[in-house]
Structure 1
Amino acid sequence: MQWMQAGTELIREAGSQYLSSGELSHDVLCCLNAVFGKSLMPALQLIDEKKVTRVTSPSGRWVFRVSGSSGVPYICLPGSAYCQCPAYKYTVVLKREAIMCKHVLAARLASEMNEVEVKEVSDLDLVDIIAGMD
Structure 2
Amino acid sequence: MTSSSGASRMSASCLVAETIWKEIESTHKVNDDQLWTLHFLFGKNFEGATRIVDQRGVNKISAHPSGRFIFQVTGESRRKDQYLCFAENFCACHSFFYDVVNRGEQLCCKHQLAARLAASLGSYAEVNVSDEELALLLSRI
More strand by share: 2
Identify the match of residue 49 of structure 1 among 41, 51, 55.
55
Post-superposition, which runs of at least 4 consecutive aligned residues in structure 1 deviate over 6 A?
none
Aligned residue runs from structure 1 range 109-120, under 5 A: 109-120=117-128
Identify the match of residue 90 of structure 1 among 88, 98, 108.
98
Aligned to 1:76: 85
Report the Cα distance in structure 1 between the residues aligned to 2:102 and 2:63, rounded to whole angstroms.
Answer: 34
Does 1:14 pair with 2:24?
Answer: yes
> Structure 2: 5+ residue runs without aligned partners?
1-10
Moved more, 90-99 or 47-56: 90-99
Q: What percentage of aligned pairs have identical amino acids?
A: 30
Report the Cα distance in structure 1 between the residues aligned to 2:56 and 2:76, rounded to whole angstroms.
Answer: 11
TM-score (norm 1): 0.86
Identify the match of residue 29 of structure 1 among 30, 35, 39.
35
Moved more, 116-125 or 8-17: 8-17
Q: Does the Cα contact within 8 Å between 1:37 and 1:98 map onto a contact in 2?
A: no
How far apart are residue 75 of structure 1 and its match?
Answer: 0.8
> Structure 1: 5+ residue runs without aligned partners?
none
RMSD value over aligned CA atoms? 1.6
Aligned residues: 128
How far apart are residue 128 of structure 1 and its match?
Answer: 0.8
Structure 2 counterpart SS, 1:96: coil
Q: Which has the larger radius of gyration?
A: 2
Report the Cα distance in structure 1 between the residues aligned to 2:45 and 2:26, rounded to whole angstroms.
Answer: 20
Report the Cα distance in structure 2 between the residues aligned to 1:11 and 1:42, rounded to whole angstroms.
Answer: 17
